[in-house]
Amino acid sequence: MNNLIDHTSLKATTLKKDVIKLCDEAKKYNFASVCINPVYVPLVKELLNDSSVKVCTVIGFPLGANTTEIKIKETKKAISDGADEIDMVINIALALEHDYELVEKEVSEVVKVCKKNKDIIVKVILETCYLSSKEIEEVSKCCARAGADFVKTSTGFGTDGAKEDDIILMKDSINDSMGIKASGGIRRKIDAKKMIIAGATRIGTSSSVNIIDGK
């Protein structure tokens, strides 16, 4: 399970010492990535340089309400700073208004930046707590057509987190080459296992060590 976990700290109060600890733990447990806010990407790149753990950061986080142009600039900056993986938040309002064409276009623009020079992984955060089942299905299809590598449930800052039913719905809406990241409220090993059984191929959590060492 270790190599499925994005070891995460995205709080506004995350300090440099917390990031250092996060990276030390990620290397010790061989987690898939360390997921941090963009300001810490250079530091994390340096700290993980001698390991296989990837550097993951967030774009348009946590509201998804930045303009596409800003998300593109954020993405370019994150990549130049050393990010290996990008977790971007969709424009949630567009999804609620069922303007799926613009949702897909924005995801596609970020994907283009990530695939232009490097094979940067793109995970798209749907914030499923705000979407109906039909909206989750349609947005997942948008992400697939746009060339994203993963669809992701949540920021962890919404009204709810990952749910098994949403994972199953997302899995049924994308192609077999895509992954699914479950995040938000996953704090115990049993919770992580349920998400993996439902179809998640990556787990985003700040409780990584407790999940691996706990029950």
Q: Each residue of 118-135: pLDDT tens digit?
A: 789 999 999 999 999 999
CATH for 2-213? 3.20.20.70
Q: Which of 71, 123, 152, 171 is catalytic?
A: 152
pLDDT for 204 beyond 90 = yes
Q: What angle do CA 19, 78, 29 make, to 5 degrees?
A: 35
pLDDT in tens, 27-59: 999 999 999 999 999 999 999 999 999 999 999
Other CB atoms within 10 A of residue 197 CB: 11
Residue 87 designated active-site: yes
Helix extents (H) in the chain: 16-29, 41-47, 68-81, 92-96, 100-116, 133-146, 164-173, 189-198, 208-213
Distance CA 157, CA 203 (A): 16
Residue 191 designated active-site: no
**CB hemisphere CA count around 10 (13 angstroms):** 24
Q: Which of 6, 87, 166, 191 is catalytic?
A: 87
Residue 181 designated active-site: yes
- Model pLDDT, residue 21: 98
- Model pLDDT, residue 215: 59
- Model pLDDT, residue 109: 98
Q: Where are the domains of the chain?
A: 2-213
